[in-house]
Each structure stands twice: as C-alpha cells, then as structure tokens.
Structure 1
Amino acid sequence: MSKIQKKIWTVSMVILAIMSAIWITLTYYNNKTLNQYNEILERYLNMNEVTNASQQVIDDLNDYMLHPSLDNLEQIELSKRKVLQAKNDVYNLRNEENNFNLTNYIHLIDSFIEATDRFIIFYSENEVEASAKEFTEATSISNHISDMTLTLIDKELKTYDRIYLGIITQSKDLKELGIWLILLIAFMLLVMSYWFSRSITKPVLQLTKAANELSKGRFDEQVKVDTNDEIAFLAKTFDHMRININKLFLETKQKAQLEHELQQNKILLQESQFRSLQSQINPHFLFNTLNTLSKKAYLEGSQETSDLLVNVAGLLRYNLKQMDRSVTLREEVVVLQQYMEIQKARLTDRLKIHMEIDEACLDIKIPTLTLQPLIENAVIHAIEPREDGGNIWVRILNGDKRITIEIEDDGMGMEADKIEQILLEKYKQTEGHSTGIGFSNVVKRLRLFYGYDDVIEIESVLDRYTKIVLKLPILRRENNDTAPNRG
C-alpha cells in the first residue's frame, strides 16, 4: 500500500471513529431514556392490570349467576389466576415511598380473591342469600381496588415527576451535544482536509517549480521535498535525473573536445604509421620470396622443402587478410591443413592428427583465423610438453540447424578457472601463437560474428583430455565476404 493511500485510509478511519463514537453515545443515551420510559409505563400498566382483572372476575361471576355452567366456572378460575398474576407483578413495584399503600393494596386483592371463593362455595350449595352477599362484597372490593389503583398511579406520577424533568433536561442536553458534535466534526474535517491536500499539493508545486527551472537550462538547483511518500520518491528520482542530465551535458562537452583532439592525434598517428611502414619489410615481398624459394627447391629435387615452403607461403598469405572479413569453412580447413603439415614437419611422429570432415558443411561463413589458433593452442599446450607427443582430433559434423566443430586432444587438460576465464573473454595469454591471436580473442570474435554467447563449449579433465566444441548456425552464403546474413 502506498503512503498516499495510507493517508487517505487514516483520514477515513478517523472520520469513521468519530462517527462511531457519536453513534454509540447517542444510542446509549437514547436507550437509557427509553428504559426509563418503559420502566414507568410498566408500573402503570401493572397497576391498571389489577383493576381490569378484578372487573373481569365480577363480570364472570355475574355470568355464572345468570347461567350456571362448568364453562363459566372455568372462566372464573382463569380470571382469578390473572388477578393473582397481576398481584405478583404489582408486588415487584414495591419501594420505600409506596411500601405502606402497596401493602394495603395487596391485602385488598387477597380479600377480593377470598370473597370470590366464598361466593362460589355458597352458590354451589344453593345458599342464595349468602352467595348474593358475597357477590356484593366482591363487587365492593373491586371498586375499592379501582379507586386505590388510581391513588397509587397518582402517587407514582408525583414520585416520578423529577424523573420526567430529568428526561426533559437530558433531551435538551442531547440536542446541544448534537449541535456541538456537528460543529466539532465540521472543524476537524476542515483541518484534516487542509492538512491532507497540503501534504500532496505542496510537493507537487515544488516539483512543478523544479521542472520549470530545468526547462530553462538551470541544472544547479537541488530538488528537495520534505515528505515521506511516493511524491518524495518522485522528487528524488527527478533530482537524480537532473544530476544525470547535467553530467551528460558536461560529458558531451568534454567528449566533443576529446574527439577534436583525437582527430588531430589520428592525423599525426597516420603520418607516423606511414613513416614506420617505410622502414619495414613488405610482407608481400616476403610472400613472393617464399614462392621463389619453393620453386627453386622443387627444381633442385627437394620436394619436402618445396612443400613446406608452399605451406608457409599459403599461411602467410592467409594471415595477410583483414581480420574483420569472413571466409568459408572450406578456406579455414585448407589453412588448417597447411598449418598441420608445417607442425608435422617440425614434430614428426610426435603429432598424430585425425580429421573427420563432412564436405556438405564447408560452404558456411566463419570469421577468418578461427580454427588455426585453436589447433595451435592444442599443439602448444597438449603436444609439445609431452615427450611422446599426442593426438589431435578434428571433427566437422552436420546437423539440422547448426554445424558442430569439435577439436579434441589427449593432453594435460585445463583447470576449471582457466576455462571460465576463456569463456568470460578474460584470458589474455597469447605467448607462442604465430598469429598473435589468443583463445579468448577467438571466442570474442565468434560471439560478435553470430550475435549470441552460446557458440562455444569447453570440456576438460586434467591429465586426460580437452575438447572444444563450436556450435555454428547454418547461415546463407552471401555475395560479399564482410558479414553473414542473419535474416
């Protein structure tokens, strides 16, 4: 979650907390008021229930006298139970102020129940006069219950008068509290909105000012925003961009000056190289001289000497080619064979060469002087140090999408760190190479030529063997010899 989002969530949570507190407060006071109202109303209803229940009993007694039946008798018992239930509810309303009156009230209810029971007994025994007397007594007690209920309710009204006043005062206080809370919330929202908008707009204005200065070419003023959010990160990035642009501007200026100086030095260097070439032997003159000596040796009957001179001349002519040109694999194989003839003449039986070449592979393009330095590396490090010499295998195999060239020797092998240095193009040792081209140089030129790194693998076990595997893609031969077609 971003810092700006956290600010928005913080403001929202604060507002939600305030609204929740207000809602809880209002709910609490409202429930408290409702409970007080309900308590008072319940007291009135319980007292009034005694009056209603007693009058219902009188009505049931009257119905029973007019129509004596078991159903009417059961109705009287049901009404009596309601009176007793109402009596228990009234008993729970006892307090210090109504203790005496409520005790008399309960005794009056008991007397009413007793008079009702006596009426039922006398009436069942057909004592008409006694039952009529008890009915009159029950009716009189019911009237007294009604009057006393009104007296108790009136006393309750006087007792709870201060409670009513408290409820009214509480309602006024809640109204005032609501007004103050609304004003407080409005003020807090204004403050928080100003703080939140200020925390965003101020750094944005600073960035706008800095961008305006940069558009005028002023790169010296630092862009600084004192916040702890994404805008501060943007400001730091903007300031780094300002520094980089300023550096680039200075470097471009210095580069232009260096290029001017380099151009002047290049002119002087070309003049120096021209004078140096004048003092050296022309390599073409040396090549022509070797051809002359080869023909003279042939005429004199020295066939091996003639062949050796031809191979040396061919190798020299091949080395005179420009290093940035590409040749066919066939040309590389011819030069490789000439080089091996020279080495076999020098090492005799100590060198054993084994070649397995697929003729269908020899028309692909390859950088010049690729195979000869690899073979020469094997001769120098695998054959020459051993008194009995060794074997070198050269295999050129055709595949579906690539051609594989394997150069293997049974020499001393290479250590893992040396292989890593070669593959990282950091191995600079070129001592003893006739062309001056080392192993790492070959790796680098192959990768540049084909455009990817996975062009060579090296397998080696110390004191056993070393195998170099070139994986060359099959590229269409072009008319010019400068570069392969990668399309």
Structure 2
Amino acid sequence: MKKLGILKKIDILNNYSIKTKLLIIYAFCVLIPMIVTNSIVYLTIRNNEVKEQKVNMEHAIDRVKYNLGSVLDDCVLVSNHLHSDITLNDFVNERYDNLLSYYDKYNFLLRNNVINYYYNSQHVYQVTIYTDNDTISNSNNFIKLTPEIRKSDWYKQFQCNKDNMTISVYYDKDIKEYSTNNTARTISITRKLDKLGDKHENILKIDVDYNVILKNILNEKMEGNLYVCNKNFILFSNKTPQVGSKEFDTIESIEEKDVKLNGSFKLKVANEEWNIIVTSNEVNPLLKIVEKKEILFGLIIFNLLLPTIIITLVSHSIRHRVTLLGVYLGKVENEEFSIIECSEGKDEIGKLVRSYNLMVLKIKDLIEVVFKRDAEKQRLELAKKQAELKALQSQVNPHFLFNTLESIRMRSLIKEEIETAEIIEKLSILLRKTINWGEDYITIEDEMIFVENYLQIQKYRFGDKLSFNFYIMEECKILKIPKLSILSFVENACVHGIEEVSHNASVGIAVYKDDTDLFIEISDTGNGIPKNELKLIKDRLSNAKIEMLSESKSTGVLNTYMRLQMYCNNNMKFEMDSILKEGTVVTIQINHDELRK
C-alpha cells in the first residue's frame, strides 16, 4: 500500500509540461552544481594559467632583448673597427690619377683583409662604403654617392639623425627585383667615415643579417604572437616565417585588445627604442581541468548523486508512455494501424499520444481514397500521352499539303506551264507516302527522298533563285528518325526564308555523326529571323506543350520539335541560330543511346 501511494505521487508529474520538467532538471542537476563547483575550479585554474602565461612572456621578452643586443653589438663592433681603420680611411679619401693606381691600392686593401675580415661575423650581411670621391670606381663594397642614393630611405634617415650612428629601417626594392634568395627588409647601422677629416663625404653602412634575428624570433615557441617594432613598423614577428620579400607591416595591424605584455629595447648605438610586444588569446582554463584529476573526480561524484535522484523521478513520468508510443509507431512502419490505450496524461507526451490516435483514424479513412486517386491519375496520364501522339501525327499532313498545293496553284495560274504535270507527279508520290502514315519512324535515307522531292517542287516554283545541296554520311542513312522531321525544317526554310528574298538563295542539309551523337544541320541563306522573333520561337520551343498546337496558327516547327523530343525521351539538344538578311541554321543533336532505344 505504501508503495502504491508513492507511485501515485510520482504519477502527478505526468500533468506537468515537459518544459517544467526540464527546468527542474536544469536547476537541480546542472545550474546549481555548475555555478558552485565550476566557478571555483575555473577561477583557480584561470589565475594560475594567467600567472604562468605572464612569466613565460617575460622570459621570452628577456631572451629577445638578449639576442637583439648580441646581434646589434656585434655589428656595431664591426662598424667601430672599420671607422678607426687608418688604411681604409686613407683609401676612400685619396685622389687617384688613373684607374691603374686605384686598382693597385684597391688590391692592396683586399690583400690586407681590411673589409673582408669582418664578414667572419655571422650577424653582418653587407658592408658598404658610400663616397663622393669621384676617382673611386663602384665595386662590391665601394659605391659612389649619386643623386639617386641620396633620395633613398636609409640616406634620408641618416641625414635627419644628428647622432654619431643611425639605425635605418627600410624596404630595399632593388633586392626584391634582382635577388631571389635574400630578404628585401633591411636594417642598417650607418655612420660617417671621417677618421681623417671631412675632405669627402664618406658613409659607412653595415647591413644587419635580417634572417639571423628573424630565426631567433621564430625559435620562441609560444602560444601567442611576438612582435619587435619601432615607431612605425613591425620589424620582426614569429607569426609568419617567410616575410623577407614583403614590405614591413605597420604597427596599426596589431590589435590593442590582444596585447598582453609590452617591453622596450634601448639601442646603444642611437637614440632609438624598439618595443617588444606579446599578444595572445584569452586564457582557456578548461584545457587545464583534465590535469587536475583529484578535483575532477570529486566534481564528478558530487554532480552525479543529485542528478541521479532528480532524473530518476522525472524519467519515470516519461519512460513508459514514450516506450509505448515507440512500439506503436513501429507497427505503423509495418502498415499496422492500432489505437494506443493507456493513461495519456495532460503534458506534451499525452497530447502526442492523442494526436497519434487521431492520425491512425484518419489514415484508415483516407488510405482507400488515396489509392483510388493515384490509380485514376495514372490512367489519365496514359490517356493524355496517347492523345498527344495522335494530335501530333494528325497535324503533320494537313499543314504540309496546304503549303505545297498552294505553291503549285500559284505557279500554274501565273505561268500556265505544262511542266506542272511533273511537279504534280512528285507531289502525288509525297501524298501517297504521307496519307498512308504507317510507322512514325523511317530511315534517314527515306526521309531525304521526301526532302529531295519537296525541294524539286520548290525549285519549280522559285526557278534558279533556289539551289540545294546534301551531305549524308553513309553510316547515317540506316538510322531511324520521326517521319518528316527534316522535311518540316526544310519547308520552314523555303516558306519563311527563301520566299521573302529577291536574290538567289540555297538550302543545305548535312547529316553526320561522331562517337557519341548524331548531328542533323538544316541551313539556308534566306531572309533570316529578327532577334526578338527568334527569342520568342526559342521560348516557345523550350516550354512546348501539346495545348500550344491548337492555339498557334503555325505549328510545323513546334510539331516536329515535340515529336523529336518524345522520340529522344526529352534528351535532344536543339539549336536555332539566325542572322537577319543572311540566313538561318538549325542543329539537332541526338545521342546514339537514344537512337538505339
């Protein structure tokens, strides 16, 4: 009795909506446990992660500062040695009487390794001395100061800076155009070469090896991005490895919201400071939760106990009726329609059960009606197809006969020639063939007999104004097509193309095939069709229906097009092209598979 009382109290849940039950589950099984436990875990891990990330960033900035200092100090050391080298200073300040004396002094300089010695430094990319001494010839390390060089970025930066040394950052377009292996991004240390006075303007320029510094930056393995910037540009970054051929990005490309740590690097050689910026996404503590196994297992146990009690009570309200509904839906799949008899309840599942029962009753009432309607629809469709075929066949003969007899009648009335007897004889042959329709499909060879007789009749009418020519591939003669399909387009060419012009015109027919398709081309050099009228014809053909035959006065082309499409199961390709005052070309393309069918 006590057990029954408990079950009755549980059954009260059947009257609550599913939304209310889900809210109960969410509040007691998800919301409260998640807020209490996950907030503690989240905040703890996040704080630890932020601290760890900051320490890693600080270490990375320190390493970058050290590497930058090593590279630049090494290049400055080379610059100091060259600046104090008396031999080198004598060489660039001396005036040479001729090239021979210059090259003697130049070779002496090379033998003593005054410049080449400093290439042993792994951080120096290029040593160049620019001078306005016009007796010195350009070479790998010595270049004359020209107006073009004075307009360059590094020279302008050097002139603007009043310090002893200048750090020039610029993009060398010449390297980009003439070199494929070296970087066009250039960082140079420039200073005056004035140990022996300022008799000439001599500038010592040390190009830092950009790739050495970039390699050190790329070796900083970290989740975020690291940037080394001056006031205007991003000089180095671990974001993209291959950047040497691209121009410097501006510092505006760094989102301020992503910046996590800022550091500065004071250059010893010039009054300039570079910024070291580290950007990173927000810390995601969830990735660290798995590492805290003890906390994770404790949370799992706590979060399972309370949800199990609540879910058990709620699931009892849903499980029985949902299972029963699933069983009866399975019967519906096997075409067995049965009513569910149970305590439905007032919630959404109860409504679903009642809707199912109503659906089963309606299905039983409608099933016979639907089957009968489908059967009747199929019979009507079959009857419609048969009527369409009969209508298409019945309209071919009157259309053709009318135009032919009218042509002969007009010719006879005008000229009163006896030779019309020959034409009437040819016409009688056509009449016997068309009146005795027989099979709707004939060979292309028989069809061309019709076409030739018809054109002979039209030549009688037009005289020398009309000429015609045929090309029929031998393999195509035995292929079958709908009767009068070529003749209809030839007739259309004579009536609407040849008849309306005063000059001599011709009709050409070509039948050929390739490995996959049969091609039939009917062309004339008649009057052609205006663009707007041609568009209307194409639209009518693309939307052709059997009802259009009774609505249109001219049905020859439409009739033939529909018969060909039916013959090819609507897989025929049809093109009609025309140029006004030049003529018309009709192309029919039929796949061999459709011909075999």
Q: Give the TM-score taking structure 2 as reference length.
A: 0.36
Ranked by relative contact order (alpha carbons within 8 Å, sequence separation 6 or more), the top structure is 2
Q: Decide which structure has the larger Cα Rg and report it.
A: 1
The structure that is strand-richer by fraction is: 2
The structure that is helix-richer by fraction is: 1
